[in-house]
Structure 1
């Protein structure tokens, strides 16, 4: 029977099997991500998602700057339990959908929306300066662009995709890999999107949005 579970669930079970076989005892450090990904024949993003899932269920602990350590060798299989959508697939979906939406949004963009976007980015910059994670400002920026396309279904899709960032899996990845530097990079990319919208240049806006979301996915899953 074909395994229809998400790839990160399948990969997590393969790591569990390595642990269950006795290859790695409690307290042992797993191979580095790159080596383990090669061993399992999966991409680093898929492996990182699997490792976050294993950390959530208490099988391993990820210690930034130190390594990945086994905590428990008796954890059962995940039993198909989903911790949310794959963050790599989520960011790919957002790149496709939001890059298409912004073309339409650029054609209907008003001066009022441009001003609102500027205010959102100013608040985002303030959050970063104060050491706060500006996820609500990030959400407001992307949703304001989607809403300006004058299509409620498209705006709802963007909202649902963005809010998947609060799933256990995405939240676990954000907790480890979002930093002040990553948010500063995102803010710079947002300004590039806004500049293209101010110029009423739909192709430049599309390119800037795709560049931003692709870079966001890399910061989460490949750094």
Structure 2
């Protein structure tokens, strides 16, 4: 039999695999609740954000349902869909941070007279969508890609576009459904505005710091603990 390639298993997938096995063997019956996120992290010796991504993966697979203020309920023993070994949402945000902070600094050195007006237009698009109670992904995406375009490097533009578009994946969408709200999007617009102000001032250090702060806050918004009765 020919050898098969061995894929490294991401941490959140390893956590999900263990929990899935416990569900399938009946350790956690359908209708029962899993331990709180905090308790799972302690028992498994991992971070709460890693547990968060694992639970989101199991929710996408149809095994559990995360009920805010109630708990994590097992709803099936067998997955209705299986996910590939893709990066988790929090991992993607950190990857973006490494790249986009430097791109913001480069943008602050740009002499393109259309750059700042274009970026301000993306903020108006986001605000209009928020007011219409629509996810402001269109303006958010245009903001980050426009900054990448200021580098005049097509490879970097492609990387930023690919990483941002991971938001369309099932894990990111499920995570966003739990934690993205009007208030969080308004905060993101304010953070974007700080980046634009730094670029307009042609201050690379300030632009780098503003972008880093924005993506730090994005990571925090997705990794903040949800509240369940046993997780106070």
For normalisation by structure 1, the TM-score amounts to: 0.92
Alignment of 1:135 with 2:171, yes or no, is no
Aligned partner (choices 50, 57, 63) of residue 59 of structure 1? 63
How far the C-alpha of 1:188 sits from its partner, in A, is 0.8
> How many pairs align?
221
1:86-135 per-position Cα deviation (integer Å, ceiling 9, x unaligned): 11110110000001112212111423110111111012111112211101
Q: Unpaired segments of 5 or more residues in structure 2?
A: 1-5, 226-232
Superposed counterparts of 1:31-180, under 5 Å: 31-75=35-79, 81-82=83-84, 84-180=86-182
Quote the Cα distance in structure 2 between the aligned partners of 1:105 and 1:194: 10
Which residue pairs with 2:184 in the alignment? 182
How much is the aligned-residue C-alpha RMSD, in angstroms? 2.0
Change (3 A) 1:164 1:136: same
Task: Return the structure number with greater helix share.
Answer: 1
Secondary structure of the 1:10 match is: helix
Quote the Cα distance in structure 2 between the aligned partners of 1:77 and 1:135: 26
Which residue pairs with 2:216 in the alignment? 214
Alignment of 1:12 with 2:16, yes or no, is yes
Of 204-213 and 2-11, deviating more is: 2-11
**Maintained 8 Å contact 2:60/2:81:** no
How far the C-alpha of 1:73 sits from its partner, in A, is 2.8
1:165-203 per-position Cα deviation (integer Å, ceiling 9, x unaligned): 111111111122111111111111001101111111000
Quote the Cα distance in structure 2 between the aligned partners of 1:75 and 1:164: 22
How far the C-alpha of 1:75 sits from its partner, in A, is 4.5
Quote the Cα distance in structure 2 between the aligned partners of 1:139 and 1:149: 16
**Maintained 8 Å contact 1:83/1:169:** no
Alignment of 1:195 with 2:227, yes or no, is no
Secondary structure of the 2:66 match is: strand
